Amino acid sequence: MATIERNTTLAAQIRQSLEMQIDSKLLQPGVKLPSERELSELFDTTRTTVKEALLAMEAEGRVYCEDRRGWFVAPPRLIYNPLYRSPFHQIVTEQKRQLETLVLSSRTIVATPTLCQELALPTLSRVNEVTRLRKLDGRVVLLARHYLKPERFPGILEHDLSQSLTTLYEQQYGVRYGRSRFEINPTAAWGEVAQALMLTEGSPILLISCVNYDQHGEIIDCDHEYWRHDAVRILVDSQELERMKANTLL
């Protein structure tokens, strides 16, 4: 919550002013803020200073920016447990939110060295790559690239890949997730990633990389998830893991 404070900098005053509007629900999640130019007139300053305030609020996850579209009030973060490999759709609906999945591409490629290492493959192996964009309540929040071992999922690229891969694995191939391992890196978005997430080049994002194993401990696939950093909150409970295990192995 924003509190009234004596603050030295102009940018801090702009921030507080906007935060008070947001806290008081006068500015609702998803609503577009006035343009940088309008704000700079409102606060009798320049775009540079307004932008500085907005960037700090963006870092905090209070507002977000869509490239050349404008600034918006950030909705609540999605709570996400990367170890909990249930269908993503389910995770989202349990939080009473709406998911949309777009398949950007699906193809077979030669694995990069990093991928070979992650999937424990010999060099120059081929892998299936599926790139999907996910929208939360209509907003782009996640670009996910899945890399599958082709021999485990023959012909999978012919299926409808906008559905849950978890379900597809299980129903079509009898493969279920067992243990998994993930890594979180705060980093920046460039090129395609920035474009897909509608971010400016160099914006901070969260990169979550998962490696998944089946019920027999064999590697199934891995994925690289590029998240808008304000859209997610990671939550991991070691106890929940026990329950998951019970569910998976029985």
The closest alpha carbon to 227, from 145, 164, 160, belongs to 145
CA angle 44–47–49, rounded 5-degree value: 75
The only residue of 13, 16, 34, 55 in contact with a second copy, by rule CB under 8 A: 55
Subset of 188-227 contacting DNA (CB under 7 A)? 200-201
**Residue 247 binds DNA, judged by CB under 7 A:** no
Residue 237, contacted partner among a second copy, DNA, none, CB below 5-8 A by kind: a second copy
How far, in Å, CA of 201 to CA of 165, rounded? 30
104: its two tokens = 């950007």
Residue from 68, 122, 160, 191 in contact with DNA (CB under 7 A): 68
> Of 25-33, 96-104, 108-116, 196-204, which segment contacts a second copy by CB under 8 A?
196-204
Residue 158 CB, shortest distance to a second copy, in Å, is 31
Examine residue 147 and tell whether it contacts DNA (CB under 7 A): no
| DSSP string over 62-87 | SEEEETTTEEEEPPPPEEE-TT--S-
With CB under 8 A, what is the number of residues at the site for a second copy? 39
Which one of DNA, a second copy, none interacts with residue 65, CB within 5 to 8 A by kind?
A: DNA
- Cα(7)–Cα(54) distance, rounded to whole angstroms? 16
Contact pick of 16, 17, 21, 45 for DNA (by CB under 7 A): 45
Helix axes 10-23, 47-60, angle to 10 degrees: 50
Verify binding: residue 180, a second copy, rule CB under 8 A.
yes
- Pair of tokens at residue 10: 């102009």
Site string for a second copy, 93-132 (x = CB under 8 A): ----------------------------------------
Nearest to 209 by CA among 89, 134, 103, 118: 118
The minimum distance between CB 59 and a second copy, in angstroms, equals: 4
Alpha-carbon distance of 97 to 40, in angstroms, equals 34
Binding site for DNA (CB under 7 A): 8-12, 33, 35-38, 44-49, 51-52, 65, 67-71, 200-201
